[in-house]
Amino acid sequence: MSEYSDDYDDDQAVTGADFDAFFREEVDTGEQKRQPVTVCGRRYLLPDSLPLMFTVGMERLQKSADINDVRKMLSPLFGRTALDDWAEDGMTDRQFRIVLVYAAANVRAPGSLTMQGAAELHDKQEAEKSAGGKAPAPNRAARRKKNGKRRSSGKR
């Protein structure tokens, strides 16, 4: 296993990968579409790609109850004061989570998910969580309809 080191000998180094050069060349010079969004009366412009700090912050939130972790996670997308601003404006937990679903999808592909779609996706995910990770079973009438035929009760 190799370790990171600033101390290396150029004479002994094998030509390696230069990701910095690669990423500079890979950057599209054309202007990428960025999704504008208004939340609690404030207008934000989502970044053109999902910042690593947002992804790392989402992972931290799975194991943390620290409000500062939420602030750090939101900062790359909405700025440092967004959480406090939204809370002061009366945003609910559900609304907050829908904004996150919407933002994450539309940073990756602007215009790919509507607010209604984000709400439906959020509600579906929450229903699956409350059902123990499984989608709720269809009710009896829906199961019968799906099979296409009535079954006998066995009584004659």
Do the strands 36-39 and 42-45 form a parallel or antiparallel pair, or are they unpaired?
antiparallel
Using a CB cutoff of 8 Å and minimum separation of 24, what contacts does 34-41 make? 34/110, 35/106, 35/107, 35/110, 35/111, 37/99, 37/102, 37/103, 37/106, 39/78, 39/82, 39/86, 39/91, 39/99, 40/85, 40/86, 40/89, 40/91, 41/89
Q: Which pLDDT score, from 0 to 100, does residue 132 have?
A: 79
pLDDT at 149 over 80: no
Q: Which pLDDT score, from 0 to 100, does residue 133 have?
A: 57
pLDDT at 13 over 70: no
109: confidence class by pLDDT, cuts 50, 70, 90: confident
How far apart are the C-alpha atoms of 71 and 78, rounded to whole Å?
10
Among 6-15, 24-33, 51-60, 83-92, the minimum mean pLDDT is found in 6-15
pLDDT in tens, 24-73: 877 655 556 788 999 999 999 998 888 888 888 878 777 887 888 888 88
> 97: closest CA among 130, 120, 81?
120
Q: How many CA atoms lie within 13 A of 154 on its CB side?
A: 0
Among 29-33, 78-82, 84-88, 139-143, the minimum mean pLDDT is found in 139-143
Q: What is the DSSP-derived secondary structure letter of residue 141? A: H
Distances (CA, A) of 141 to 31, 127, 150, 153: 52, 20, 10, 14
